[in-house]
Amino acid sequence: MYLLDTGMLLDLREARRAGSEQALAAWAERTSAQQMFLSALTLLELENAAAVAARRGKDAGLAWRDWLDRQVSPAFDGRILPVDAAVVRRRAQIPYADDREGILAATALVNNLTLVTSEPRTYRAGRVKVLDPARFEPDSDSDADWREATRSGAAWLRNLLIR
């Protein structure tokens, strides 16, 4: 199972645009939505971005708000992990100067998740499992098995990316 960092969620939002990273879109298509989680910290960062966009212009703020309320929230309903006492204790044990990185790494470790990020080197010191889908190449056999099992593709991804 996977914990998406904020940057990865934003990359997924752009994944269907022409010229975007096709490996990321392919990974998301192969991965069940039920295997993907967000940290409450990511939600905070997204809410902050929506507030900044709203201050810059009404339309931009409304677009962010709509994306958060109509796509992100339903897509991750029941799968937004808290920054609780266990995460805070684990954070204190891992050697990151940056609390944001430390909290994401601790959330992944406490919940036994792989952290999905485009910056895997950032998390090397904490011994957290990381995945950069842009550099991931599945075995061809497992890919065929997955496609056979899901035939219709990932509806959750289509819904998340529609604006």
Domain of 15, CATH number, reads 3.40.50.1010
Cα(146)–Cα(89) distance, integer angstroms: 37
Task: Report the pLDDT value the prediction gives residue 144, as an integer from 0 to 100.
Answer: 46
Structure-model confidence comparison of residues 136 and 101, the more confident one: 101
Most confident of 16-25, 29-38, 117-126: 29-38
Q: Give the C-alpha separation, 156 to 72, whole Å.
A: 10
Residue 136 has pLDDT above 90, yes or no: no
**Is 30 a member of any domain?**
yes
72: closest CA among 108, 32, 37? Answer: 37
Give how many domains the chain has, as a whole number.
Answer: 1
Q: Which domain holds residue 38?
A: 2-44+79-137
CB burial class (10 A; 0-12, 13-18, 19+) of residue 162? exposed
Give mean pLDDT, residues 68-72: 96
